[in-house]
Amino acid sequence: MEKRIKRLAQFFRRRMFHRILLIYSAIILGCMFILFFITDKYYTDVVVKKEIDKSYQRVEKITSFIDDKNEKVSKAVRELYYDRDLIEDVTHALQYDYNNYLSYRLDMYSMSGSSVPSHFGTFLNSFYSQDDGITAVSLSDPAEREKYYQIYKNEAWNLSKEEREGKLSANTMQSSDLLKVSTNINNPVTLDLVGYLNAYYSFDEVNRMLKLQKDHVKASIYIYNNDEQLLFRFGDKLAINPIDKLAFGDQTANLETNGSTYYTNSLTDSSGSYMVVAVLAESKIKEVTTRRKTMLGITLFISLLAILVTYWSIRRYSQRFLSIEQTMKQVQAGDLDVRIPIKKETDDLSIIAGNFNIMLDDVNNYIKKIYLSSIKQKEAELKNLQTQINPHFLYNTLESIRMKAISDGSRTTADMIVLLADMFRYSLEQDDVVTLEEEIAHVSKYVELFKVRQPNKLQFDVQLPAHLKDKSLPRFILQPLVENYIIHGIRRNKYDNTLVIAVYEEAACLMISIVDNGKGIKEEKKKVLQTNLRNGLPNNESLGLFNVNERIRLKYGNTYGLEISSEEEKGTKILVKLPINEMEAREDV
């Protein structure tokens, strides 16, 4: 197990995209579960508050019912005071025993002269006619001893009497007693307390009222008297007895028992005789549990979907990244012809792949350029070796001939030998780069050698500014160009042949102009020659020009080289373009 965990850790450490996926997945799961807990807490609070409000409304309704009964009994007593004979009758009945009261009632009846009796019995009967919800009515003395009963519903009264012990059955509506509503009866003259009017109500009306509610009540309803005796319960029997946890009075509280939470609301009636309690068990709110499971499922689904989308996106990037990596390994192995496939996306990886492909193209071009340059250089060296016939031996032989010519009195032959020897000495030097002054001096000796052979047929002029004498250029750049004119362009039957070499600086370039007034070049041949020089194509008829042009371009780049302009029978102009600073030119190649 430990090895698997280590392998998994290494798997995520080695691949950047795997780490990104892991981090993103952790962030997504963390955010989604935080959102779930916040939403669940909010929704739970909303549902619980809704149920608590519903149960509170039931409590208010029951309390209002009790207050309404209190008000009816109080109203009946107030109306009693408006009938003097009736209040005196009730007062006498409460103050004396029953026999004494009967004598008093007969005396009052005989004295009234009315055939309609008016006593507390008629009063009690009229009271029932105003509220048919009454089970019984009684009169009790100040010591709360009930002296007279008027029972209207014997069945309910007898059932109540049987359950005085407070033993509750398992029915939905249970009561250990009737709802008793009492009001003081005072002497109208002395205002002394003479007794109480008691009205007894069955809880059937409360039961019907709760059952007829449109919204199902999840809370259990309890009604206690001020002796903390349970009179009524509606709903399931709970593991908690609210009166053991609550004080008698109006309050809202959350109770914790055996790991269960109960939300309670309690109100007392206006007389303070009864307390109505609604108890809502958190476990009864099934909607919370159901919605919680639903929200958890939705959270997991959205999290999984987000992770899959992230995985799909990162996998596409990972595959493209692996393609780049594999291509780099192939390049590292020496395959420079491989390329990274580029798709339509224009993102960072596409830019990297495109630039990498461009780099490979540049490397290939550079390698080919260096390779071809090396081959051409080797070919030139081979040709040079083939044409060399022991220069030192040849130079020594020429010196012997010169001395012999002087001894024989042939000064011209001696001068020609000196010029030829100097040219051979110049060719023996090993430096590939010479100064402009040295190169023009070499060309001048070549021209002088021609003038010895063909006197008075060529006017040669050099225009070399002093500040450009020390500028560098490759050896043997100018001689092939001058030689090309002398072999192909000079008019040998004319004495006005002119050759001018002018050196100047233009746009950070060293310009060498070689202008003659010779035969010129035919138009078609000139176009072919210009095209070949521009594209680097060899031409057997102008091999010298091609070699010079290629040497310059290989050394300094395609920006430099030869430019030719010519008119037939008017002359030719060859413009040599070199960098003014050879070191900078080498860095640019």
Return the structure tokens found at 251.
Answer: 């309050």
pTM of the model: 0.46
> 3-state SS of the chain: helix, strand, coil percent to 5?
55, 20, 25
The pLDDT score that the predictor gives to residue 118 is 67
Could you give the CA distance from residue 379 to residue 382 in angstroms, rounded to a whole number?
5
Q: Which segments in the chain show pLDDT lower than 70?
A: 1-18, 109, 112-118, 153-177, 214-217, 286-292, 345, 375, 377-417, 424, 428-430, 539-541, 582-589
Residue 536 makes CB contacts below 8 A (sequence gap 6+) with 549, 550, 553
User: 10 Å Cβ neighbour count for 218?
Assistant: 17
Could you give the CA distance from residue 278 to residue 208 in angstroms, rounded to a whole number?
17
Domain boundaries along the sequence of the chain = 13-288, 456-588
User: 10 Å Cβ neighbour count for 346?
Assistant: 10
The pLDDT score that the predictor gives to residue 158 is 54
**Quick one: CATH architecture of 456-588?**
2-Layer Sandwich (3.30)
From residue 410, how far is each of 70, 396, 404, 416, 456 by CA, in Å? 164, 19, 9, 10, 20
Residue 437 makes CB contacts below 8 A (sequence gap 6+) with 464, 469, 470
Element (H, E) at 199: strand 193-201
Residue with tokens 């997504």: 28
From residue 505, how far is each of 14, 113, 438, 581 by CA, in Å? 59, 157, 18, 11
User: 10 Å Cβ neighbour count for 120?
Assistant: 25
Continuous H helices in 512-560: 523-535, 543-556
Could you give the CA distance from residue 521 to residue 572 in angstroms, rounded to a whole number?
7
- HEC string of 30-70 equals HHHHHHHHHHHHHHHHHHHHHHHHHHHHHHHHHHHHHHHHH
The pLDDT score that the predictor gives to residue 114 is 60
The pLDDT score that the predictor gives to residue 436 is 92
The pLDDT score that the predictor gives to residue 379 is 63
